[in-house]
Amino acid sequence: NGPLEIPEEFLLCLKDEPAAYNIFLRYTESEQKAYIDWIYGSKKPDTRVERIVKSIEKISKEQRLSEKDISSS
């Protein structure tokens, strides 16, 4: 297994927010994977967009994804 692949859509959004991007890169691979799995676990494009926005807000505040986040959506 190589390094974790960040989906291009999410990567571009992160790069639009350099602080969030740098924080995300400091997360462990499992923390990054939790965000990616949560975002792309949605079947609806609108839900994915909402999750990307929420993720970037949380990452900007250096918050990890919690079980509450995952179960509430």
Q: Return the SS3 of 40.
A: helix
Across all residues in the chain, what is the average pLDDT?
Answer: 92
**Which tokens is 67 given?**
């079980």
Give the per-residue pLDDT at 56: 97
Q: What percent of the chain has pLDDT over 90?
A: 81
Give the per-residue pLDDT at 73: 63
Give the per-residue pLDDT at 66: 84
Q: What is the pTM of this model?
A: 0.89
Q: Return the SS3 of 2.
A: coil
**Mean pLDDT of the region 44-51:** 95
Give the per-residue pLDDT at 1: 57
Residues in the chain: 73
